[in-house]
C-alpha cells in the first residue's frame, strides 16, 4: 500500500490529517534562511582564497597581464569602479544564486506566502551585501595571515592605498599588537548597517 492510499484510508476512518503548524513553518523557514547564510559565508571565503592565491593580478606581480580581443582589452582592468570581470562573473552570479536561494524556491514552487516571500527577498539582498563584505575582508585576511612571498604588502590588513578605500575613504586604526596598523573602509560600515537592516526584516517575528 502506498503512502497516499494509507493516508486516504486513515481519513476515511475519521483520523485528522496532520499539517505543519504556522509555528513549525516559521521555524523551518528560519532554519532555511540560516543555512543559506552559512553557505554564502563559505562561498565568500572560498572565493576570496581563490582570488588572492590564484587569480591573475599583475599589481602583485603574479603573472603578466592577460589580454583578450587581440590585445585591446586587459583582463585585469577594472570594469566598474574597483570591480574586475571575475567579480561580476562568476563571483556575483554565485552570490546571487546562493543568497536568493529561498526566494527562488518560493517563486518556483510557491511554498511561501507573499509576506514570507518579501522576507526571502530581503534575506537575499542582505546576503549579497554581506558576501561582498566578507569576500573583500577575507582577501586581506589571507594577505595578513598567510601572504604570498611576492606580495609587496604581505602581512598587512587593509591599507589606505588599497583599492577598497578609493571610492568612499576609510577610518584609520592605530597600530595594534596583533594586526598592526590598518584602515576600515567606510563602505564596510555602510554595508554592515545596510545588511543589518535587511537581516532584521528577514528574521523579524510576525506580529
The predicted pLDDT at position 11 comes to: 45
* Containing structural domain, residue 80: 25-203
pLDDT band, very low/low/confident/very high, at 196 (cuts 50, 70, 90) = very high
- Over residues 127-148, the mean pLDDT reads 93
- The model carries a pTM of 0.74
pLDDT of residue 53: 77
What tens digit of pLDDT does each residue of 102-119 get?
Answer: 776 665 455 556 667 888
Is 15 inside any structural domain? no
Domain-located, residue 88: yes
55 located within any domain: yes
Q: Examine the pLDDT at 58 and tell me if it is beyond 90.
A: no
| Residue 189 CA, distance from chain mean position | 16
Q: Say how far apart CA 39 and CA 121 lie, in whole Å.
A: 17
Distance CA 147, CA 141 (A): 9
Q: How far apart are CA 123 and CA 197, in angstroms?
A: 10
How many other C-beta atoms can be found within 10 angstroms of the C-beta atom of residue 186?
A: 14
Asked if the bond preceding 125 is cis, omega within 30° of 0, the reply is no
What is the pLDDT confidence band of residue 33, given thresholds at 50, 70 and 90?
confident
Residue 38 lies in a domain: yes
Radius of gyration of the chain (CA): 23
Q: How far apart are CA 129 and CA 116, in angstroms?
A: 20
Q: How many folded domains does the chain comprise?
A: 1
Q: Is 48 inside any structural domain?
A: yes
Amino acid at each position: 500500500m502506498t503512502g497516499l492510499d494509507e493516508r486516504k484510508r486513515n481519513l476515511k476512518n475519521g483520523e485528522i490529517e496532520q499539517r505543519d503548524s504556522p509555528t513549525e513553518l516559521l521555524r523551518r523557514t528560519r532554519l532555511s534562511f540560516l543555512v543559506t547564510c552559512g553557505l554564502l559565508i563559505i562561498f565568500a571565503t572560498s572565493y576570496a582564497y581563490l582570488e588572492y592565491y590564484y587569480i591573475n593580478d599583475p599589481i602583485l606581480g603574479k603573472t603578466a597581464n592577460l589580454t583578450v580581443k587581440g590585445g585591446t582589452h586587459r583582463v585585469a582592468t577594472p570594469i566598474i569602479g574597483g570591480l574586475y570581470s571575475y567579480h561580476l562573473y562568476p563571483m556575483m552570479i554565485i552570490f546571487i544564486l546562493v543568497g536568493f536561494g529561498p526566494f527562488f524556491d518560493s517563486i518556483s514552487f510557491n511554498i511561501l506566502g507573499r509576506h514570507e516571500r518579501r522576507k526571502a527577498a530581503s534575506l537575499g539582498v542582505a546576503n549579497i551585501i554581506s558576501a561582498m563584505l566578507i569576500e573583500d575582508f577575507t582577501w586581506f585576511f589571507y594577505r595578513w595571515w598567510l601572504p604570498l612571498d611576492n606580495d609587496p604588502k604581505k602581512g598587512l590588513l587593509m591599507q589606505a592605498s588599497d583599492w577598497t578605500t578609493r571610492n568612499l575613504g576609510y577610518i584609520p586604526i592605530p597600530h595594534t599588537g596583533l594586526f598592526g596598523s590598518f584602515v576600515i573602509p567606510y563602505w564596510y560600515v555602510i554595508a554592515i548597517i545596510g545588511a543589518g537592516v535587511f537581516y532584521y526584516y528577514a528574521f523579524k517575528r510576525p506580529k
